[in-house]
Amino acid sequence: MSFESSVRYSGDIAILDLAGRIVLNDGSATMREAIAKLREAGSTKILLNLADVSFMDSSGLGELASAYAASNKSGGQLKLVNIPARIMDLLRITKLDSVLTSFPSEPAALASFNGAAGA
């Protein structure tokens, strides 16, 4: 399955639904561009839904870290939701799980943007 993304909104929170493989020369650049477009359009609260991501390589992990850093630098927030077990294992191995904020459910993630306690 090739990489696909779509955007939907919950109030002022942009939810980027990602699907497929996030790998070098395919999904990682497309994901970067999708996040950049949201930021250029003024979105400061971005939630990446990884529920349908089937695989991610090191370039995908790098793009997540880069997007997180860019969002923080510009005063925004970038969070993850519905992370598949295999990708969560990668985040743990690389210690990115201690940097990136993630949630098991969309309602918890959305509430976290408004200061409510998340999961």
Encode pLDDT of 20-66 as tens digits.
999 987 788 899 999 999 999 999 999 999 999 999 999 999 999 99
- Decide if pLDDT at 88 tops 90: yes
Give the domain extent around 33.
4-112
Domain membership flag for residue 118:
no
- The confidence score (pLDDT) of residue 117 equals 45
- Does residue 106 fall inside a structural domain? yes
Q: Does residue 117 form part of some domain?
A: no
Total domains in the chain come to 1
pLDDT score at 118:
41
DSSP state of 12: T
Helices (H) and strands (E) in the chain, counts: 4, 5
